[in-house]
Amino acid sequence: MAGRSYKTEKVVSLAALSPWEKGIILRLPEDWLLVRRLAACGLLPGVEVVVQRRQPAYIIQAGAARIALDRRTAAGIMVLTGGEQ
Interval 37-42 mean pLDDT: 94
Type and span of the H or E element at 30: none
55 φψ region: left (φ > 0), alpha (ψ -120 to 50), beta (else): beta
**How far, in Å, are 1, 5, 7, 50 from residue 34 at the CA level?**
25, 31, 32, 20
84 pLDDT more than 60? no
* Domain 10-81: which CATH number of 2.30.30.90, 3.40.50.300, 2.130.10.10, 3.40.190.10: 2.30.30.90
pLDDT confidence of 83, banded at 50, 70, 90? low
Quick one: what percent of the chain has pLDDT higher than 70?
A: 88
85 or 57, higher pLDDT: 57
What is the three-class DSSP state of 65? strand
